[in-house]
Chain A
Amino acid sequence: MTIEKKISKKTIETETGVSRRGFVKGAAVVTGAAIGSGAFTGFPTIWAQNIKDVTLRQFGTGVSNINAVADKVKEDLGFTLQMTALDSDAVAQRAVTQPNSFDIADIEYWICKKVFPAGTMQPMDTTKLKNYQYISKLFIDGKLTPDSEIAQGTAPHTVGFVEGADSVEFASAPTQWMTLIPTIYNADTLGIRPDLIDREITSWADLLDPAFKGKASILNIPSIGIMDAAMVCEAMGEVTYGDKGNMTQEEIDKTIAVMIDAKKAGQFRAFWKSFDESVNLMASGEVVIQSMWSPAVAAVRSKGIACKYQPLKEGYRAWGGGIGLAKHLSGLELEAAYEYIDWYLSGWVGAYLNRQGYYSAAPETAKKFMSEDEWGFWMEGKAAEGDILSPEGKVMEKAGAVRDGGSYEERMGSVACWNSVMDENKHMVRKWNEFIAA
């Protein structure tokens, strides 16, 4: 008994000893390998020593400006990353009007279409990124698989490249110069309260079903709200569009007219503008059906309230985001930024984003950082074998759960349109104001 105990204790000690030594040794090997493999290419050695003094300021929307990423950057790359989270409108404003207040911009592609031509950012040389090859084809040529159709709207690849290092003109085909390195994207649909709705929801048209009078909501960010409204009008057969992502004045007028009629009939309970508002509306039962973001659905569910991210037959409205460089970056800061962006694609963040219900722009590398069960649940539409944990370690889904909407290919393969900025943007915003004031 005593001997056994002693032995086991000794074994443990030895094991820990070994693993500790092994770890130190391993770390040394990794560092050596990193240097050897040229992970620090582009740096004169003297810079590599100074890198810990570098501070990069990043800003973007709350979805991806997560402190955990900044902590991991400090750990893996050695320099400091400061994160500022803002809402979509504030991001666009800041990128255009305060170009010196940031080093790295984390922005959405539809905002990129507005922001990049303002000339406050510099294109990125893709040849300096080792992980460029792992970026999903969706962001290179717009096709998830070689035979998939390109969705309407501002598809990321249409604003993903520019002609040259100093250009602000978007290129029609992939070039060496990328505006944003894609990081995060998702397919949005309606969120519903299955406990308060007693029938199947299958179509975007259900948002305006009089059965949900006074219990529906739509988001009040015009560029995104108009797309949801268009999905609804098209599903109802009220309006036919050439391109929902770039409507004509007439299409906009018709869409808004349908929405104003619904509003006057008392269909809507409220309109939401921020993530938290959408969560509160749903959790409090003020609303039973509304346009919603995937993590907001997760937030409602984590309160113990039934909420479903309902796939619809017309498909999803997708959005994507990426990170880009401020115009003023140069020298060591610029090299550090490249290093960071390449690291972003190398898998750790990708896995983190995948675990939140978004998608990584480099799925292959993210896979290496996820367990088989996690990968199966989040990406392949398989039933979870064990509990599914959030990146913070909270239980998000119990064993046996299946992700709403199924696999990555099913979801991203049925994107009907991307969030966009239209040529008739000014007209659209004015009509949207009419809708709100009606």
Chain B
Amino acid sequence: MASDTSKRSSYFLISPMALIFAVFLVIPLLTIVVVSFWDYDEYRILPDFILENYKYLLGSAVTWSIYLNTLKYAVLTWVFTLLIGFTVAYFLAFHVRSLTWQIVLFMLCTIPFWTSNIIRMISWIPFLGRNGLLNSALINLGIVDQPLEFLLFSDFAVVLADVHLYTLFMVVPIFNSMMRIDRSLIEAARDAGASGFETLKSVIVPLSKPGIAIGSIFVITVVMGDFITVRLMSGGQSASVGLQISNEIGLLQYPAAAASAVVLLITVLLIVTALLRLVDIRKEL
């Protein structure tokens, strides 16, 4: 009897969240899946059941090159944000001794987030341009005689902007994991004669794994879906899956966009599943 009541109250308690998920996530997702099988022309979507959208999407060499390109951005961004994010978090967690300074420096990391994503991204353009600050400086210092063209409107620019935008997404969860590491473990490692690198390899990295996994999920999912960074920083010369979807929506090709979105969603879910197999996040939280 008592367990019945608690069961009922449990259902009651989760109902608001379940309702929100149903209305704002499940129903829209189902709609996207349904529409992805519809037909379309210039100005209408035509309820139907066709496989053409998927057939074209999966059969086209363009899709594969776009996916390859998107994965390239995701992997490169992931590597750099991980290296930088881990280093920053390590410094904050283990080198800064006082809690006050940890908080102050941590807040410092968030200052760039006081302005919008797009503004932070666009400010790279005058800096990296052919006649931009960096090229003028390099020429004036005599390091190069010709402006470096690859700095802007290139893959380099896209990855640079992504790393700049998303490194904090790595810092926060890794820092969080590191702060939970029992400091006596590190002392024990040192007492046992481990070098700094050995401690890092055998104690800190394994214990930071949940943070690394969460940070990686953040960064990879954001970069996989991104379209604005790719468009602005590549000067419109590169494509990503997100950009393709955004173009299709712009041209009223909703079913094609829905099919692309479904495939992207499945891809990202697979990546996330793979990451979660590496660490049991539930155990660590």
Residues in A lying within 8 Å of B, measured CB to CB: 89-90, 92-93, 96, 113-115, 117-118, 214, 217, 220, 222, 263, 268-273, 280-281, 284-286, 421, 425-426, 429-430, 433-434, 436-438
Which residue of chain A lies nearest to B236 when distances are taken between CB atoms in the complex? A271
- How far, in angstroms, from A273 to B239 measured CA to CA in the complex? 14
Contact of B44 among A118, A222, A429 (CB under 8 A): A118
Q: Is the CB of B252 within 8 A of A430?
A: no
Q: Are A92 and B253 in contact, with the CB atoms below 8 A?
A: no
- Asked if B273 lies at the interface with its beta carbon under 8 angstroms from chain A, I say no
Interface residues of B in 205-241 (CB under 8 A from A): 231, 234-239
B121 to A: closest C-beta gap in Å: 13
B130 surroundings in chain A (CB, below 8 A):
284-286
A93 to B152, CA, bound (A): 32
Most buried by B among A273, A425, A433: A433
19 extra A-B contacts, CB within 8 A, seeds A286-B129, A437-B238: A90-B250, A114-B42, A117-B43, A118-B43, A220-B236, A269-B153, A269-B235, A270-B153, A270-B236, A273-B236, A284-B126, A284-B131, A284-B132, A286-B153, A429-B247, A429-B251, A430-B56, A433-B244, A438-B65
Asked if residues A263 and B250 are in contact (CB atoms below 8 Å), the reply is: no
A296 vs B44: C-alpha distance when bound (angstroms):
33
Interface size of B by CB at 8 A reads: 34
Distance to closest chain A CB from B244 (angstroms): 6
Cα–Cα, bound, A397→B43 (Å): 42
Tell me the bound Cα distance from A263 to B236 in angstroms: 12
Whether, in the assembled complex, B149 has its beta carbon less than 8 Å from a beta carbon of chain A, the answer is: yes
Contact A430 B62 (CB under 8 A): yes
A114-B62 CB under 8 A given contacts A271-B236, A286-B153, A437-B69:
no
19 of the cross-chain contacts (CB-CB < 8 Å) are: A89-B251, A93-B250, A96-B44, A113-B42, A220-B236, A269-B153, A270-B235, A271-B236, A273-B231, A285-B130, A286-B130, A426-B41, A429-B247, A429-B251, A429-B253, A430-B56, A434-B62, A436-B237, A437-B238
The CA-CA distance from A271 to B41 in the complex, in Å, is 26
> Are B131 and A436 in touch, CB under 8 angstroms?
no
Residues in chain A near residue B251, CB distance under 8 A? 89, 222, 429
Q: Does B249 count as interface, using CB distance less than 8 angstroms?
A: yes
